[in-house]
Structure 1
């Protein structure tokens, strides 16, 4: 080697790289040899095959809600949360389902209604038949089974022990949830279109018969654990017991002094008119576990029943834990009435919670001049809540055991968007809300699209969908986040990615608005709806 001859000089870094590479190869070979000897080699090979063969299962939620066409062409039901009683996934051995999972029985079906509770589930098919499942229905056969058929049912509510279902013609059926009680209970005589050709029903049920006027019919039903609320086409309200285990004695029937011992003679589940609401045309009713609400056409909110957590929106009084006479909730403490004109526009309830929305219009205050008020006539849409908040169910960012004065859900209040057509800011209101025992879901009425002209034709809509928020208790993964963490504020849920490689950007879960989609070979108008029950959640395609 001659001095100055660079070609003959060894590079220390190259030696290090060469030696490192040699050690890595040797180590890898040693690992594979060890794996082969110990039987782990085949496991590693199988794992690689699984990776290579990995495909997207079209029966799970991947890509749904962020892929428009799949949602249009594949109506389905997705459930998640507590599965202890085989309600979320009857075929699974797991006690909880952490994220939305397709309910295979309802694949390619659109439904009239869908309700899930921790112990049982019930749905109304497109042709009006009742389907039940879960251990609450049967301890041995908890898979979906058609029960009450041929009644053209339209909607239903679940109590602690019974199902109350409303038919399209206004008839109200009350039947036990339990399959055994349906088969062993008293059965009524059913009429036939052929004179004197009646027959006995195949299962036990009762008819609720409110005293209706000529031309009046029941148009909506809502229910709690022990009672049901009936709204008529004339704006009247009736209530009835809806449990075979407990009589509603916390004032939720809205009849002063009514209890099991003071009830009038007749059936235990006889219908009672809520006479305190006479003179007010009621357009909407809602029910928690043990309390009731009614919204009048002129924007007044009436409440009655249990107030143990302040869910009626008035001070909790330990000596008077419930109110059996409906009263109008005052908005005086919520708005400055000298500069705003508030009006309640919707009401929702569940568990021990109440939610209501208010449109507040800016008006001229005393001594104000119109020329000096820039926001005169502007409408602000707000969401208010009261009741139990220990799980964050209030959505106000607080953990509160009892909230007896309504507080604003700020994340769902004062929202607005600019309308190109009217060239002004318009409020964004809630489109729908579902309140479970400990958690809540809310849809914003902000359907957006990419084209200037919307269309309902199949595969030609450019709708993005409605924004949906979730919050509250998450002890059984009912929020769909995959974690048990409770959320005290309305929060987006991420839509699962289209592929497991996670190549596309994250997307929020959204709810499809009404559109035309394929059900078999038929084209059907449908929309997605959200349902929150007791520790369970669902999204279903509704006709």
Structure 2
């Protein structure tokens, strides 16, 4: 508007300058004046007379043009205001196309690439404390901040692995035992095969010994130290030649329970710092001292009144049946540093041992810091008033913590009409924890010193997903929990896909299971690259970041673990393998398991 007013003022000034100076009083006077003015002039005068009006006309025309231009410009501006600002044109980034189907899948899916790499390059990634040269035997670094491969295990498949800050132990695909770390030998840095030919299936570690379970059910107790293996008592072993025997190359002890029934054998083992639980295939539970330094004295053996002074005659590491649990068929066992858990087939949990941090699931009492008799956990109280019936499906323990996964089934509440309860029978999968939480190991987002009553882990509870095959919404359970001394990891049992082949479309990709981590991180055992403790489960970056960069991927992605699958490996064999997680004592590993 300011521009329009200025132009109008200029036009009026030019027009007034071109008008005669005489101001007629009437139209008639003006006409008479004009006629006498033209008649009384010569040709030259007439030409001069026409020149001035012409200039005035031209000036007026210019003014009109200026006014029109300004008015038109203002009108366009007003119209633009009404239409609003111009809309931006978005150009979609062109997707990079791979040379082949497989390359294209690698480009569009980090999960597909991770699955492929886990099959092509089996091995062990480790991180955390390296003071004992366990996480990285070839490195002098005190800490390994992010996942790093242990070269000795490249292309090696394992049955099991267990980690301590000072020593590591693993079972090879053929059942032989491998050991490494300063706790094994100060001079030997590379992993070394120690116990051979026993066909070990599972191992568990105590403070100074390794407990191994063979496929036949025999339980071996092996010193963690190479010196003790060489200098200790070496048992005689039977030979394949009848009547012949030989002496073992290393020292070890056999700790099979007495009085097993026909075809009954040990099927699971789980150890703390000083004790080990032994579960038979019929559901009977035994316990024994597992270390050579200290006898279990905090009730973790589950035998009331059993101490070093009251133990029965015989070996210090003899097995004791937990008679309190006779009549209950146990299916799962777990051990923390000084406490024990047992789960029966009906979903009932029994706990015993140290309760200084509430790790047994009961409130701490200074008058009774430990419980030496297996005690039933009142799980139903956790769901009181919710119209849900709970059943424990799995247990885990480590350090001063215990974990429980529970299927809570929606049932009829008081006064409810079955026809109005749409969720009747629906299962909700929840995860609970108890014990010490000052370093975040409870996973519930709080830093609790002592947690007796189990607390729910929100981010691992009440999760659902749509199953296309079942055409239904299903709960997301946990496939497994690995609990270390101060940290833990959980593998989700979410829907996975591993059947992509050459006939599949370009956009069909493999994808694994989600995995999260939480708890203490002072030794970088969470693998985040940072040292802060974490009280809420979080994701890690992919293990093989070099492959991610090589694929041209710049965005942040998370690590997905590869589930069990039949795979053809480099040597041409077909094996059934998967990735597994082991949270140890301030050390963590992901390995290729068979």
For structure 2, list consecutive stretches of 5 or more residues without a partner in the other structure.
Answer: 1-109
Aligned to 1:147: 194
Quick check: 1:392–1:489 contact (8 Å CA) kept in 2?
A: yes
- In the superposition, relative to structure 1, how do residues 230 and 316 fare at CA in structure 2: closer, same or farther (>3 Å)? same
C-alpha separation in 1, matches of 2:170 and 2:375: 34
C-alpha distance after superposition, 1:51-91 (max 9, x if no partner): xxxxxxxxxxxx89844322211111000000001001111
Shift of 1:463: 3.0
Aligned to 1:132: 179
Aligned to 2:231: 184
C-alpha separation in 2, matches of 1:338 and 1:70: 45
Tell me if 1:314 matches 2:362.
yes
C-alpha distance after superposition, 1:322-359 (max 9, x if no partner): 00000110023310267221100000000000000110
Secondary structure in 2 aligned to 1:376? coil
TM-score of the superposition, structure 2-length normalised? 0.78
Question: Bigger shift: 238-247 or 459-468?
Answer: 459-468
- In the superposition, relative to structure 1, how do residues 274 and 421 fare at CA in structure 2: closer, same or farther (>3 Å)? same
Shift of 1:176: 0.6
Tell me if 1:455 matches 2:502.
no
Which protein has the bigger helix share? 2
C-alpha separation in 1, matches of 2:316 and 2:175: 27
C-alpha separation in 2, matches of 1:251 and 1:130: 31
C-alpha separation in 1, matches of 2:470 and 2:551: 44
Structure 1 stretches of 4+ with a deviation exceeding 6 A read: 456-461
Aligned to 2:576: 525
- In the superposition, relative to structure 1, how do residues 202 and 65 fare at CA in structure 2: closer, same or farther (>3 Å)? farther
Q: How does 1:259-270 map to 2 (within 5 A)?
A: 259-270=307-318
Shift of 1:459: 11
Aligned to 1:376: 424
C-alpha distance after superposition, 1:94-130 (max 9, x if no partner): 0000000011000001101111111100000000100
C-alpha separation in 2, matches of 1:202 and 1:66: 44
Shift of 1:424: 2.4
C-alpha distance after superposition, 1:6-26 (max 9, x if no partner): xxxxxxxxxxxxxxxxxxxxx
- In the superposition, relative to structure 1, how do residues 98 and 291 fare at CA in structure 2: closer, same or farther (>3 Å)? same
Tell me if 1:507 matches 2:557.
yes
Shift of 1:462: 4.0
C-alpha separation in 1, matches of 2:502 and 2:182: 39
Quick check: 1:251–1:322 contact (8 Å CA) kept in 2?
A: yes
Tell me if 1:114 matches 2:161.
yes
Shift of 1:388: 0.5
C-alpha separation in 2, matches of 1:512 and 1:282: 29
C-alpha distance after superposition, 1:364-389 (max 9, x if no partner): 12221101212111100100000000
Tell me if 1:474 matches 2:521.
yes
Aligned to 2:585: 534
Question: Bigger shift: 521-530 or 112-121?
Answer: 521-530
| Aligned partner of 1:413 among 446, 461, 464 | 461
Quick check: 2:516–2:540 contact (8 Å CA) kept in 1?
A: yes
- In the superposition, relative to structure 1, how do residues 501 and 210 fare at CA in structure 2: closer, same or farther (>3 Å)? closer
Quick check: 1:191–1:197 contact (8 Å CA) kept in 2?
A: yes
Quick check: 2:482–2:489 contact (8 Å CA) kept in 1?
A: yes
Quick check: 1:64–1:70 contact (8 Å CA) kept in 2?
A: no
For structure 1, list consecutive stretches of 5 or more residues without a partner in the other structure.
Answer: 1-62
C-alpha separation in 2, matches of 1:175 and 1:363: 50
- In the superposition, relative to structure 1, how do residues 294 and 456 fare at CA in structure 2: closer, same or farther (>3 Å)? farther
Secondary structure in 2 aligned to 1:426? strand
Aligned to 2:240: 193
- In the superposition, relative to structure 1, how do residues 186 and 65 fare at CA in structure 2: closer, same or farther (>3 Å)? farther
- In the superposition, relative to structure 1, how do residues 67 and 299 fare at CA in structure 2: closer, same or farther (>3 Å)? closer
C-alpha separation in 2, matches of 1:406 and 1:267: 37
Aligned to 2:483: 435
Question: Bigger shift: 421-430 or 318-327?
Answer: 421-430
C-alpha separation in 2, matches of 1:519 and 1:156: 27
Larger Rg: 2
Tell me if 1:236 matches 2:284.
yes
Shift of 1:193: 2.7
Q: How does 1:24-423 map to 2 (within 5 A)?
A: 66-211=113-258, 212-336=260-384, 339-423=387-471
Quick check: 1:286–1:347 contact (8 Å CA) kept in 2?
A: yes
- In the superposition, relative to structure 1, how do residues 458 and 196 fare at CA in structure 2: closer, same or farther (>3 Å)? farther
C-alpha separation in 2, matches of 1:407 and 1:284: 21
Quick check: 1:303–1:328 contact (8 Å CA) kept in 2?
A: yes
Matched pairs, number: 477
C-alpha separation in 1, matches of 2:526 and 2:320: 37
Aligned to 1:41: none
C-alpha separation in 2, matches of 1:65 and 1:118: 33
Quick check: 2:111–2:511 contact (8 Å CA) kept in 1?
A: no
Quick check: 2:111–2:510 contact (8 Å CA) kept in 1?
A: no
C-alpha separation in 2, matches of 1:501 and 1:523: 27
Shift of 1:517: 3.9
TM-score of the superposition, structure 1-length normalised? 0.85
Secondary structure in 2 aligned to 1:90? coil
Quick check: 2:211–2:220 contact (8 Å CA) kept in 1?
A: yes
Aligned alpha-carbon RMSD (Å) = 1.8
C-alpha separation in 1, matches of 2:380 and 2:317: 37
